[in-house]
Structure 1
Amino acid sequence: MRPLRRHEDSPARVKNARRGLTVAGLAVACVAVLSGCGTAVERGFLPHGVTENAAKVQSLWNGAWIAALGVGVLVWGLTVWCVVRYRRKKDDVGLPEQMRYNVPIEILYTVVPVFMVAVLFAHTVKDESALMDVSKKPDVTINVVAKQWSWDFNYVNANTYEAGTHVHLTGKPGVEKTLPTLWLPVNKRVEFILTSRDVIHSFWVPQFLQKLDVLPGQVNRFQVVTTEKGMYQGKCAELCGAYHSEMLFRVKVTSEADYQQHLKSLKAQGNNGLLSNSLSREGIIGRDQQYLPPNDGSK
């Protein structure tokens, strides 16, 4: 009799086993990732919003993506179905059967997309109007003056200012503390009056989920209601020259008491009045009170 030998798996069986383990591992990893970022999925992977407007932006964003995903699944499904259903068979000879046009289907795939675009446009206009509404009286008014490549902040109500200078990012610890910092009180309505001293910039705080261009010779404005204390990053979102990437600032949302204390410290430093926001590449040209009023000269 021949001695019994241990059964050796064939290469194909080993390959299938490895493939099964790989698929199982990927499935476990996906479940772990999705369970760990459930909140991020709910907000469409947008930054965590810290203003009242953030919820409106998040809702519009998620709605648009859900509609797009629905259209994508339908198109992908029909594509796969056509590939499988009408694939070439071995006994096929010559061209496949030619089909005439189908008027109902053509009307359907013309009317439905137009309807979807119209709905998306209507929701966008409605939400944009709400986001850009400045009819309410603000608790705090900030004149943000953009310049190559930094920011000045005029605290209009307190008649004081903070001037920023271009900070070169060296990568060393502590450099971020030298960036210009905009202070805001929490749970207050803030109106930003945006003006530029030279070229086109864009005022953007990612966690506000809202930004607006800063144009030379024009006043743009919008309002937010802050909801959470914290230190947030801000940046210019419009290519404005050689050091655009270093045109950064910080936003510190704090209590009303700390905010008022900061304004007092600015005045104690001699920052009385408001910096000019007139067009000039010479930087700060003096505290000549050339602040443009919110009505943009229309009244």
Structure 2
Amino acid sequence: MQIVIAGASGFLGKRLVPHLRRSGHEVTRLVRRPPRAADEVEWDPVAEFVDTALIQRADAVINLAGAGVGDRRWTAQYKRVLVASRVDSTGTLARAVAAAEPRPRVLLSASGVGYYGDTGDEAVDERAPAGDSFLADLCKVWEAATEPAELAGTRVALLRTGLPLARDGGLLRPLYVQFQLFGGGRMGSGRQYWPWISVPDWLEAVTFLLDHDVSGPVNLTGPEPVRNAEFADALAAELRRPHLFPVPGLALRTVAGEFAGEALASQRVLPAVLTEQGFVFRHPTVRQALAWAVRA
């Protein structure tokens, strides 16, 4: 396939590009600066500009663009950045796909399990309604921005990603350091469910969705979400470190502000669509996923 990808420089994007190439695909990366390599093409989602000819030649478009949710404290200004960086990029690509002739066959567009809000102990899959939180609202407008491509007849799959596990990025990077320094522990009560997924499974799931006739929301999470306390136990065991220092919820809210509420939320999210389509997880348990992440 000829694949165009936005957000290729991010935590997951920089892993997805070589993975797709190893799978035999040709990948072009959209960048917001003058190109520095033969596989880069400049675009400007704020100005709604993307090379029309490039989109016409593509079999698939993958959109992972968006400012990091946990990169900064959620001020009113940064919330606007989080929304705009997703809606601008997604809308620009969706409209370009809709206008292309011929059109790409598929648009895979990032979203998140934040869509569901706090689900407590209730297990939810792709049929569950949206939650009531800033991230839930963000995911709704983010996903809605793909509508032009869907109405034009392109297959659209929404990648509701959980917590990807890799030692050098995402959720696990700060936790890895804390546990290595004997300062790790559960967050808050530790009873909240965490919807993790190993990075290799995330990469394979995206590749799987390129080739399978799946549209709509798809939860990219491991098949067995675990409580935060169980996650801490598993990470401590893998690193052979104690986990004696839980982070009180009040302290987390003091440091992280509103974002702490999302970290303390419980999301028992299941990958029903992937499971029904016959996707096989390489790391079906959190212990297996963490073992890979720590040793990779």
What TM-score do the two structures reach when normalised by structure 1? 0.21
Larger Rg: 1
